[in-house]
Amino acid sequence: MYGVIDFSRITTRPCGFGPFAPPVGWQGDYRQYLQTRFDGDIGVRQQILVVGRILVRQPDGTRARFLGPHAVEARKFALSAGSSISGN
């Protein structure tokens, strides 16, 4: 999971690359899935916070495009995380 990361394309597709992509066959509450990963893995937390900071600094979202079935929830989660560290 940790390698070169393209923060302009965030996938939420099952078995995709990155912290927002659940494993194949995963079912459940996506927000809870992200929260569990965020709380339990420092690498996931760092990547989500980087995406969140991009969203906070670029509110039009031109630098981070979310793709897949959980795109809206993933964007909200990242924005919330980024806002929490920016003092907004």
User: For residue 65, what are the β-bridge partners?
Assistant: 9
**Residue 23: both structure tokens together:** 């494993």
State pLDDT tens for residues 1-21.
556 778 889 999 998 888 999
Residue 33 and residue 53: Cα distance in Å, rounded?
21
Low-confidence ranges of the chain (pLDDT < 70): 1-3, 59-62, 86-88
- State pTM to two decimals: 0.86
Euclidean distance between CA atoms 53 and 59, whole angstroms = 10
Contact 55, 77 (CB under 8 A): no
